[in-house]
Structure 1
């Protein structure tokens, strides 16, 4: 049986003949069936395995009536439960459905009917999971391309091909806009879980008070406002990839819990005592120097060493300037596919080649999109470009370092927008937090 594609089913019944029968008859290439004889044995299996459907006898020797149903639904709200009942237990079966059971079947049961019932229950689980994932995924369905033929790009493509099939965590670092998300998506697409959606979360957008709940989920009543059981991102990423962008901004009090999930592939929802097992490929990205963050006490040292098991450093665009024409051509042909492809004149291209691109590929994309809109007769000239690029001259390497050139450019754009930091960040193609850090460093 292919466990990568089979969905898991648990049979709970105190009669050995029933357990053997259902394990044999319900199992096929699409299902992996396990069995438990008691409620306590079942709860132990639920804590260490992930089940989509449970077929449960209503009467078990160590639990009374509906107690096990209630415990299971509290532990794993996503699971669908089919109750096996006797002729005199119909009222209890109806009560079970009010408490969240999917359906019930009476003894002696028809195996074909039970098989169909299990399949429909699984389809319901899948639909609910897909709806939940859609609320949390931000990755595009479009084909991902890592444009470039420089030595730096070739080296990164080599690393992607090598690490993608492995389960090891990957840390992708580099300046804002350098393409860290592209590398993460390529790793996922070439991994064994490429047929499932990659779950993406930018840690900088997590509210400090709710970060733990959003990652791990919570149980009803675990905190003010927690009015219902809720799954977290780890549950949605089960058997797939979880990409945590801007991991350097994850609240430090949550980092130890994330480390445990990485090391053991288990976690607890907020307010829950029981551990839950998951199977997740973790990818991380940041534009911060995490080693410096560790030394300042702003990042968990053990977590840093764990996520840094395989490191990919993204080069800024000025270190692979030979890729710039390829990137320009790519954006010219893909940003507005409904329009004729624009042509860029040599003087305009020269301006772009001289520019330092502090916002990297993201800034380049924004500039090309603006230039296409302003082009006349599908020709892009210097007039179509932002003033800071069109008016730029070749840097005197004896007078300026790259850092000096970047500082000069950032301050020029800030002045152009009369000190408006939001517009400045958008024009540069970087986040406001990144802009604030740059401005703060200029004052040091």
Structure 2
């Protein structure tokens, strides 16, 4: 797949300048469009997602500085380079204070113009990548689904089939099961793989600001909106947006996202004009969304739309044949450079007999801890958490999975003196997931 061209807009009322720049600045990586007045420029800036705008200070229908202010409010991700005449230097300096990237005087040097445009574009790319990385909890290395169980082989098959399509995908499974890995595998095998995936955990969104963070907002749209801001939908344009913990999203925002899914258009908060986007949506949840719909906590139409293609990841306790491969993988990935780590038979038996309520995330935490406690690069039972060894000493054949999980949660809770935050961290699950499990297993008075 070849990378999509980035777009440059030339705004100038002189037709020879528009013709010259559209010809000279066009390259295989750069597409150049033109506008002869401010009104056309604003319409195009909103609809065509330009990275760089070359803006003449003197236009027939609006002052260049006024147009600059409006551009920076409506499309703050775009860098603006001012084109000035000899008598406009003071105005050009003022434009820099108002957010312009640079200014170039007429008559301009084409080599200089080329250099300024490319530097402005690089700034846009860097700002976009920084925003994406701040939201992405996972690294950008190739994602791998470790295991050879029938369930994992089936998931790999589904990933390969759905990745090239644009259909939304809903990934379900318990916390720590690897939903983020599946999402990144889909993106890395898709036609959008050259762009970075945008990841957001909806549980981290403040409810009152969720719409703004996803859709962006215009300056003054609400109390505290002192500057215009782009949302994650803007940064995911032409790429993939993965929304984890989708069950935590407020109902009103669910309805707005449904419209984006159906029309590929959206409005920033406080803005009237619609923007067109091209986004592949992936969603994940550890909740039973059908039950959430029945309880009035989730939008039914939204569920039908995001559930067009579903991939379910079974808990680790149901695919224990994958444990040896996962252990080997984490030993190799997490071990320091001092050498190869081994695991004793007794310790491996404990790992195989354990219930793993925190799934793969908990396994990673256990292996990382065990490496630190190991001696001579050998992991023994002494390196494992006490509750894992204790569980291995009991006859678990007569216990249900729920009974084993309940027993383990109570032990970890007791070990941390009832501290739910530390218990959740030890299990490798979120506090909200821990609360739901406690409400499920424990008496109301507990």
Call closer, same or farther: CA 1:102–1:363 in 2, change over 3 Å: closer
Partner of 1:340, secondary structure, is coil
Call closer, same or farther: CA 1:115–1:413 in 2, change over 3 Å: closer
Distance in 2 (alpha carbons) for counterparts of 1:180 and 1:189: 14
**CA shift for structure 1 position 335:** 1.4
Unpaired runs of 5+ in structure 1?
none
Unpaired runs of 5+ in structure 2?
none
Q: Deviations over 1:175-206 (max 9, x none)?
A: 11111111112222222333333222211111
TM-score by length of structure 1 reads 0.92
TM-score by length of structure 2 reads 0.91
Q: Is the 8 A contact 2:132 2:199 kept in 1?
A: no
Q: Is the 8 A contact 2:74 2:228 kept in 1?
A: no
Give me the CA root mean square deviation.
Answer: 2.3
What is the aligned partner in structure 2 of residue 23 from structure 1?
22
Distance in 1 (alpha carbons) for counterparts of 2:380 and 2:153: 31
What is the aligned partner in structure 2 of residue 109 from structure 1?
108
Partner of 2:55, secondary structure, is strand
Q: Is the 8 A contact 1:198 1:240 kept in 2?
A: yes
Aligned pairs for 1:255-294 (under 5 A) are: 255-294=254-293
**CA shift for structure 1 position 208:** 1.3
Call closer, same or farther: CA 1:384–1:172 in 2, change over 3 Å: same
Partner of 1:128, secondary structure, is helix
Distance in 2 (alpha carbons) for counterparts of 1:261 and 1:3: 26
**CA shift for structure 1 position 87:** 4.3
Distance in 1 (alpha carbons) for counterparts of 2:193 and 2:132: 15
Q: Is the 8 A contact 1:80 1:102 kept in 2?
A: yes
Q: Deviations over 1:355-397 (max 9, x none)?
A: 2211111111222222223333333332322222212246555
Call closer, same or farther: CA 1:222–1:377 in 2, change over 3 Å: same
Call closer, same or farther: CA 1:333–1:125 in 2, change over 3 Å: closer
Distance in 1 (alpha carbons) for counterparts of 2:156 and 2:267: 36
Distance in 1 (alpha carbons) for counterparts of 2:89 and 2:379: 75
Aligned pairs for 1:179-258 (under 5 A) are: 179-258=178-257
**CA shift for structure 1 position 251:** 1.6
What is the aligned partner in structure 2 of residue 324 from structure 1?
323
Distance in 1 (alpha carbons) for counterparts of 2:276 and 2:305: 19
**CA shift for structure 1 position 6:** 1.6
Q: Deviations over 1:389-410 (max 9, x none)?
A: 212246555x432222222222
Distance in 2 (alpha carbons) for counterparts of 1:98 and 1:391: 66
Call closer, same or farther: CA 1:50–1:395 in 2, change over 3 Å: farther
**CA shift for structure 1 position 339:** 3.4
Partner of 2:296, secondary structure, is coil
Q: Are 2:37 and 1:38 aligned?
A: yes
Call closer, same or farther: CA 1:423–1:125 in 2, change over 3 Å: closer
Partner of 1:209, secondary structure, is helix
Distance in 1 (alpha carbons) for counterparts of 2:85 and 2:379: 78
Distance in 2 (alpha carbons) for counterparts of 1:261 and 1:384: 50
**CA shift for structure 1 position 282:** 2.0
What is the aligned partner in structure 2 of residue 63 from structure 1?
62
Q: Is the 8 A contact 1:395 1:405 kept in 2?
A: no
Comparing 299-308 with 86-95, greater Cα deviation is found at: 86-95
Distance in 2 (alpha carbons) for counterparts of 1:382 and 1:113: 67
What is the aligned partner in structure 1 of residue 413 from structure 2?
414
Q: Deviations over 1:280-334 (max 9, x none)?
A: 2222111011111112111122221222122110111121111111111112222
What is the aligned partner in structure 2 of residue 120 from structure 1?
119
Distance in 2 (alpha carbons) for counterparts of 1:386 and 1:141: 31
Call closer, same or farther: CA 1:53–1:403 in 2, change over 3 Å: same
What is the aligned partner in structure 2 of residue 390 from structure 1?
389
